[in-house]
Chains A and B, each alone.
Chain A
Amino acid sequence: MSDVITAQFVELDLPATDKTTVTRLLAQRLADGGRVTDLDGFLADVAAREEQMPTGLEGGIGIPHARSAHVTEATLAFGRCAEGVDFGASDGPARHIFLIAAPDSGGSEHLKILASLARRLVHASFREALDQAPDAASAADLIRKEIAS
């Protein structure tokens, strides 16, 4: 089982544009890393989920996500954006963006990892630690450790 996140899937300086653009930037990293087989197909699945209900959450979080046939295994991409990108949360733009890619079926081990990640997201201390991460590798390390704890 591959790591759910590595430095390759972290972008600490996302441009302050819009959610479609930053989602594509993060998804591109997943595609480059072989976790997403069809970038546009995956983005369409994410957009479809986003249309049901925006995934922005209070506390400056955006969690675009989808279960998609174009995902090879459950993977997380993390992006930080100092100015924030609007993900539809009531209290303002998202500064932490977690793009969650889950395969269409099977692999409940991976889904459990995503579940425990989702649980960690709720904790403000986790997000503050992510703010302090100096580089992509340490951010990825931090997330992996949090999930394992």
Chain B
Amino acid sequence: MNIVAVTSCPTGIAHTYMAAEALEQAAKAAGHTIHVETQGSAGLDAVSPEVIAAADAVIFAADVEVRERQRFDGKPLVTGTVKDGINHADDLVARAVAAAEKAPAGSTSAAAAPDLVTKTEEGASFGTQLRGWLMTGVSYMIPFVAAGGLLIALAFIIGGGDVVNQVNGGTYNGKEYEAITDVSTILSEVGIAGVLFKLGALAFGLLVPVLAGFIAFAMADRPGLAPGFVAGLVASEIGAGFLGGLVGGLLAGGLALWLSRIQVPAAVRGMMPVLVVPLLATAIVGFLMLQIVGPPIADLQTALTDWLNGLDGASSIVLGLILGGMMAVDLGGPVNKVAYTFGVAGVASGSFGPMAAVMVAGMTPPIAMALATVLRPKLFNDAERKAGESAWLLGGSFITEGAIPFAAADPLRVLPSAILGSAAAGALVMALDVTSRAPHGGIWVVGLIGNPLGYILAILLGTGITAAAVIALKSHGARKAGSPDGAAAAATSTARPAAQF
């Protein structure tokens, strides 16, 4: 019988290891195989996901919370104190065997591989490490994308497209709305749809900070969390979008890791991970993001806006092509915002074509990614396939952020594919004279769309192109570097649990 055990104790220098030894002896004496993970202070030798998957039963001999215990979900489990592990190891082993025998057949395979844990081991190639860091950030971000996005979509379905403007103010279909300043009045002023929208918008506000925070966490463990989250907040603040979050998270994690490795006198060593490293890394990365990354982004936006406004003479199809491509460049980042703002400004001045172009172009990336995960599931890992399930509705609701999990995990293949499809969709919108009087809402505001058939056609075209492109690019990459599933499996097999998280 295969047993996996975790031992841990408050100090982590004695009982943890005694219990591990006693359990190993007891299991050996009883003729079983055992792998013990000692969660002590001499580092953490995590049992691999394969070992957990193969285990018939799990033993926790622990006086403190077992870290990353969800890795063992679904396995027959017996628990005891760490002293039970030392003094009554044979008893614990016997109970584990009994629990395994009592468990219904097949239940032991229920424990899924830990798709949330993709932290990479040192020593892996930089590319593998980078992918692992990004995937860690992405996998923690996906629930925020799904929850926030679906709440917003639900708000559209219940309350109609103008729910956004009822809450945030602005113009919708020619009508002016005042923004609500006191959130406690949303329910009485706008109704439940307004509340759902507000909650979704708040969840979306965490999207980039969570992405950056957990990228940094994957790199530097807990000392990276604060600098990463703050770097993500700054990225949101300066309008740098998820690409800014990626950069900020990597910077924060790298810096926190580097600071953690500096040899310091024993007296201050204890203060490093909770005080010194987070403080310095947060200050430095935050400053860099605000002062070095921020101004060029603002300049870029101004320049792009001027350029778009100067395009008057160009044909409307070229304008649609450009607007569409811009929507997909950074999926909600600075370039996307310029194109979107241009569309909204058009609505205000009575020109409804650009709005339709940006809306369609913003819908196709998530829908296309969802389609690709269904057509070629093997090209995506488990977390991405799950993100694909909600991306249909997010894309349909013109919530471009639904594509961010895919883009953040593999920007070099996903973003060009998205740009291609969105640009084509934008161009087709203009060519077919599709218009939109609504600044948001996707398929839920089809009543305010001029030439709905053209609208649908453009969505289908953009979706098809992006899905085909991303499948082609990912398949090509897979031939070169082994299948992404293989790479993901390699990343998970070297996964170690997040320390004390």
Q: Is A111 an interface residue (CB 8 A)?
A: yes
Please judge, given known A-B contacts A116-B17, A119-B21, whether A103 and B266 are in contact too, CB under 8 Å.
Answer: yes
Q: Is A49 an interface residue (CB 8 A)?
A: yes
Count contacts between A and B, CB distance < 8 Å: 87
Q: Is A58 an interface residue (CB 8 A)?
A: yes
Interface size in chain B (residues, C-beta < 8 A): 27
Question: What are the residues of chain B within 8 A of A121 when measuring CB–CB?
Answer: 14, 18, 21
Please judge, given known A-B contacts A111-B41, A122-B25, whether A100 and B266 are in contact too, CB under 8 Å.
Answer: no
Contact pick for B21, options A65, A66, A104, A118, CB 8 Å: A118
- B13 and A65 contact, CB distance less than 8 A: yes
A94 to B14, CA, bound (A): 16
Q: Is A17 an interface residue (CB 8 A)?
A: no
- B269 and A118 contact, CB distance less than 8 A: no
Contact pick for B17, options A104, A108, A115, CB 8 Å: A115
Please judge, given known A-B contacts A69-B267, A115-B38, whether A57 and B43 are in contact too, CB under 8 Å.
Answer: no
A108 to B63, CA, bound (A): 22
Contact pick for A52, options B10, B17, B42, B269, CB 8 Å: B10
B246-284 CB mask vs A (1 if < 8 Å, else 0) is 000000000000000000001101101000000000000
- A118 and B13 contact, CB distance less than 8 A: yes
The listed residue with most A CB atoms (<10 A of its CB), out of B22, B41, B267, B269, is B41
Question: What are the residues of chain B within 8 A of A118 when measuring CB–CB?
Answer: 13-18, 21
Which applies to chain B's interface (DSSP): helix, strand, loop or mixed? helix
A58 to B15, CA, bound (A): 12
- A58 and B42 contact, CB distance less than 8 A: no
Q: Is B11 an interface residue (CB 8 A)?
A: yes
Contact pick for B40, options A66, A100, A103, A115, CB 8 Å: A115
- A122 and B266 contact, CB distance less than 8 A: no
A49 to B13, CA, bound (A): 12
B5-31 CB mask vs A (1 if < 8 Å, else 0) is 000001111111110111001000000
| Smallest CB-CB A-B distances: 4 pairs | A118-B17, A111-B42, A119-B21, A105-B269
Q: Interface on B for A, CB 8 Å cutoff? A: 10-18, 20-22, 25, 38, 40-43, 63, 83, 86-87, 266-267, 269-270, 272
Sample (20) of A-B pairs whose CB atoms are under 8 Å apart:
A49-B10, A53-B83, A55-B15, A58-B87, A63-B15, A67-B11, A67-B41, A69-B266, A69-B270, A102-B41, A105-B269, A111-B13, A111-B42, A112-B43, A114-B14, A118-B13, A118-B14, A118-B21, A119-B17, A122-B18
